[in-house]
Amino acid sequence: MHIVLVEPEIPGNTGNIARLCAATRAELHLVKPLGFSVDDKSLKRAGLDYWHLLRIHYHDSIGEVIEQYPGKTFYFNTTKAHKHYAQVGFSPDDFLVFGKETAGLPETLLAEHRDYCIRIPMINDARSLNLSNAVAVVIYEALRQNGFPDCR
């Protein structure tokens, strides 16, 4: 699996997601600009001592990520989607794309990939989940569907 964070802003969230990726063998893709330095102490602290287990890639745009992986399936996580994450069948090499904490993914990107937009169900009064929590919810469903490869 691949986790793509488009312009993440909070180092602690990205560190938590890095640790999650390391623990599940998911590759992490960070799309610039980042809202922090990769040397940030809170980023490193949140990732603990898992950094050596992580496969991390840096990209200048989400378009660059999509171009580098032709033929792969990308799922775009947004509160605006009609279907939720458990209504799709994930493959082991899918890309799960998440937007920045304050704004989510760009509307133009969502419009271009409307059939691949998914959401996490929640009550109407809730705006969104914490980014690292949302990533955990979706990747563990994807891993469950695929028999938790490489996990004990």
Locate all alpha helices (DSSP H) within 48-126, ordered by sequence.
Answer: 62-68, 107-112
> Which pLDDT score, from 0 to 100, does residue 46 have?
54
User: CA-to-CA distance for 73 and 93, rounded, in angstroms?
Assistant: 8
Residue 148, φ and ψ in degrees, nearest 5:
50, 60
Is 120 marked as a binding-site residue? yes
| Half-sphere exposure for 115 (CA within 13 Å, toward CB) | 1
Residue-range domains of the chain with CATH: 2-145 (3.40.1280.10)
- For residues 146 and 91, is the Cβ–Cβ distance under 8 A? yes
- On the question of pLDDT at 149 being above 70, the answer is yes
Is 128 marked as a binding-site residue? yes
Going by pLDDT thresholds of 50, 70 and 90, the confidence category of residue 45 is low
> Which pLDDT score, from 0 to 100, does residue 29 have?
98
Please state which of the ranges 36-40, 59-63, 124-128, 142-146 shows the lowest mean pLDDT.
36-40
Exposure pattern of 70-87 as b/e (b: 16+ CB <10 Å)?
A: eeeebbbbbeebeeebbe
Q: For the chain, what percentages of helix, strand and coil (3-state, to nearest 5) are there?
A: 40, 20, 45
For 95-140, the pLDDT digits (tens) are: 999 999 999 999 999 999 999 999 999 998 998 999 999 999 999 9
Distance set, CA 148 to CA 10, 29, 90 (Å): 28, 21, 12
